A and B are shown apart, each in its own frame.
Chain A
């Protein structure tokens, strides 16, 4: 996404790189630009924010509880006097880390399975049935069982927070690669019949070369798009889990957990659900817009029109 804009940004016009074309097309999508701007801002805020806003997200200042926005606490404080801004920033780190990591895992798996299934005819059947099987798995019950089974061993191996982090990323990852696999497989199947593929087959290109040189670059567009959607999906799943009171320990802020904690106070202090709620919905929306823009920009038939 972001890196797509970087190479050759200052090149003189004559040898126009493909990525420059993509960027030109991407720029015309206002929603995507706004989305990208917002997403980058959120990323920078949660990465650098805790160094600038140094209040500990878990520190309880009981005298300062239930406060509205002020200079000391720009987003107010919660029912125990914890600073909401610090909690939103710290929570964003976790939520985004889960989102991006789970997306990468799902993307890797989905692309691999999609490519293999599409390219090697004999593996197509078994792999697609496997995909069907995973599609039939309900995510939340599966997570509950897995958390119950593996929580203790992961906790002793990596500590409570990292252990749960791996668990959640892993589960979200292995239950959301199927769409990507399906899309990639479909594209590979059509690509396989194209003339340039036939041509390179006729000169004896091995399968490995074929995939990396000719097939993969041509299915990049759907992969990129499902990557962006994957982030959004993972953030929402993590929020749902925390909202249900599962997953991370209760004092460990994530956006979903903040939302969950605030719902009891929805009537007295409505602003408290506003911050995590806004953060989740705007981030997901911005990522969706980026995906939308990327789809247009990466499609050579739309690009340049």
Chain B
């Protein structure tokens, strides 16, 4: 009798204080839906957000960013700084100390060897590592003892938190990936689909481009977490269905990235099954201009630096394309209160935001026409401008999404008004962002003239992000089409700014450089920024502990999620 009462009391206390005193697995099952399905769980082999975020349930970095953008130690004991002696005075090395007694989900110890291995894995000369820029300028990574790792940079690194920080650079298990170096990396299917990690969950079953089943990691460092015993991450479908499954039917607990028309999402939330959460970060919907010729007749050399684009290398054309766009209207149609027009590819944090390009906020069709006219592009018989036998006709690609297709249609009409003919193409998001080197339709291959998508960077320091547009970052056959410089923009001046920022420590000076890089990209019209998008996600009313984080993976604190009774 007494035992029964005690047991009952214990159960009640568990039931009524979820999250805090709950034991591991007490909340049962959580259903997460990502309408873009992850195609791998190895973030080093994919540039896509969906892969990074799905992998973040399993793989963890040494430190990451919280919802305010400040850095928190994760696998490391503390964040090294110059003050606490973790970063050397000359800014060329940083020493991380791992938390003691960390275990991989297979029960083995996490040691500094794994950290060193992660660096060798991503920087292998034959491999196409998608997160290469995180390891820029790293000369060596050495293990000082079992728990201490020293990263040595070739140049003074004022912001040494590139390697092993954030969802893009988590630690891999050396044992598991030892045979998967370089060219063999994409072939290690078992490891790539089921990495052993330190995170709250471990992979039970991975079906590429479909469903991932997770179960709680029994070796997770906090014995009380995660509250969920199992998790399912369902991929695929579209944003509307994902939103509906959380907000209207309640089948799923968490839906990521609900890029839907504002009135649609409002109507869904009104059903009362869940909440919409939004936060502004650095996510910018942008149009990227292709500086190389994607003509299929060029065969293997299409979209490489060998063949400059016939019309888009004229800066007047690029500028006119930007001038013709009414960004305010795009925001109104596509995002409502969850977006704002922007003329910068680097819209946040505030000290990095440039105000030099704000003229683009007003649409100027007449100005664009005049610009093209003066540059020698004269309208032909069908209204499309021609110069030296070259027609202003563009192939405009993006992923399949209702808002993006509306944007395409609107922008096509504006470009038509200034005499530019546009052909639209939309590609299934899983393929477009899939980074599969075998597919011609990825955003890295960019076999089109302009393409539209959104991108952001994790963390608060823009150095790695802004170095995306340096010459060596261009995706090309030699890099297995990995890289972040989709435009294949290449400017000595810009590369100089990237190098300068890499050796500048003063925060104000860094802000000046970041702005200068942003302005260079904007004034060269390499990227046409459209909308600064708030991240919009939804969770069901019974899912507690969700903290939307625009600076890192959205699933960054999945260990703290619990079921509200």
Spell out A's residues near B (CB within 8 Å): 58-60, 62, 65, 79-80, 82, 148, 152-153, 156, 160, 245-246, 249-252, 261, 263-265, 267-268
Residue of A nearest to B270 (CB): A267
Q: A148-B440, A152-B447, A268-B263 are in contact. Are A251 and B402 (CB under 8 A)?
A: no
Q: A80-B333, A245-B426, A249-B423 are in contact. Are A59 and B447 (CB under 8 A)?
A: no
Partner of B264, one of A65, A152, A265: A265
CB pair A251–B329 under 8 Å, yes or no, is no
CB distance from A62 to the nearest CB of B (A): 6
Q: For window 401-443 of chain B, which residues contact chain A by CB distance below 8 Å? A: 402, 405-406, 408-410, 412-413, 423-426, 428, 439-441
| Distance of A84 Cα from B85 Cα, bound (Å) | 67
CB distance from A294 to the nearest CB of B (A): 39
Residue of A nearest to B412 (CB): A251
Interface of A is mostly: loop
Residue of A nearest to B428 (CB): A245
Partner of A251, one of B267, B400, B408: B408
Q: Does residue B71 face the partner (Cβ distance < 8 Å to A)?
A: no
In addition to A148-B441, A152-B440, A261-B402, 18 A-B residue pairs with Cβ atoms within 8 Å of each other are A62-B410, A65-B333, A79-B333, A80-B406, A80-B409, A152-B447, A153-B296, A160-B423, A245-B426, A245-B428, A249-B424, A250-B408, A250-B409, A261-B405, A264-B240, A265-B264, A268-B264, A268-B267
Q: A60-B413, A250-B426, A267-B267 are in contact. Are A156 and B408 (CB under 8 A)?
A: no
CB pair A152–B439 under 8 Å, yes or no, is no
Residue of A nearest to B334 (CB): A79
Contacts of B264 in A (CB 8 A): 264-265, 268
For chain B, the count of residues having a C-beta within 8 Å of the partner chain is: 28
Contacts of B408 in A (CB 8 A): 250-251
A/B interface sample: 7 pairs, CB < 8 A: A60-B409, A79-B333, A250-B425, A251-B424, A264-B260, A264-B402, A265-B264
| Distance of A152 Cα from B267 Cα, bound (Å) | 40
Interface of B is mostly: helix
CB pair B296–A152 under 8 Å, yes or no, is yes
**Binary contact track B345-388/A, C-beta < 8 Å → 1, others 0:** 00000000000000000000000000000000000000000000
Q: Does residue B261 face the partner (Cβ distance < 8 Å to A)?
A: yes
| Distance of A130 Cα from B177 Cα, bound (Å) | 46
CB pair B410–A80 under 8 Å, yes or no, is yes
CB pair A156–B423 under 8 Å, yes or no, is no
Partner of A264, one of B261, B333, B400, B447: B261
Q: A156-B296, A160-B423, A245-B400 are in contact. Are A79 and B447 (CB under 8 A)?
A: no
Contacts of B296 in A (CB 8 A): 152-153, 156
Q: Does residue B10 face the partner (Cβ distance < 8 Å to A)?
A: no
Contacts of B406 in A (CB 8 A): 79-80
Contacts of A80 in B (CB 8 A): 333, 406, 409-410
Which of A59, A152, A261 is the most central at the interface, judged by chain B CB atoms within 10 Å of its CB? A152
Q: Does residue B1 face the partner (Cβ distance < 8 Å to A)?
A: no
Residue of B nearest to A156 (CB): B296
| Distance of A153 Cα from B295 Cα, bound (Å) | 10
| Distance of A79 Cα from B296 Cα, bound (Å) | 35
CB distance from A154 to the nearest CB of B (A): 10
**Binary contact track B435-469/A, C-beta < 8 Å → 1, others 0:** 00001110000010000000000000000000000
| Distance of A261 Cα from B403 Cα, bound (Å) | 10
| Distance of A276 Cα from B406 Cα, bound (Å) | 19
Q: Does residue B300 face the partner (Cβ distance < 8 Å to A)?
A: no
CB distance from B443 to the nearest CB of A (A): 15
| Distance of A160 Cα from B240 Cα, bound (Å) | 28
Q: A156-B296, A251-B408 are in contact. Are A148 and B439 (CB under 8 A)?
A: yes
Q: Does residue B12 face the partner (Cβ distance < 8 Å to A)?
A: no
| Distance of A90 Cα from B248 Cα, bound (Å) | 35
Residue of A nearest to B439 (CB): A148
CB distance from A57 to the nearest CB of B (A): 11
Which of B260, B424, B447 is the most central at the interface, judged by chain A CB atoms within 10 Å of its CB? B424
Contacts of A60 in B (CB 8 A): 409-410, 413
Contacts of B333 in A (CB 8 A): 62, 65, 79-80
Which of A59, A65, A148 is the most central at the interface, judged by chain B CB atoms within 10 Å of its CB? A148
Contacts of B410 in A (CB 8 A): 60, 62, 80
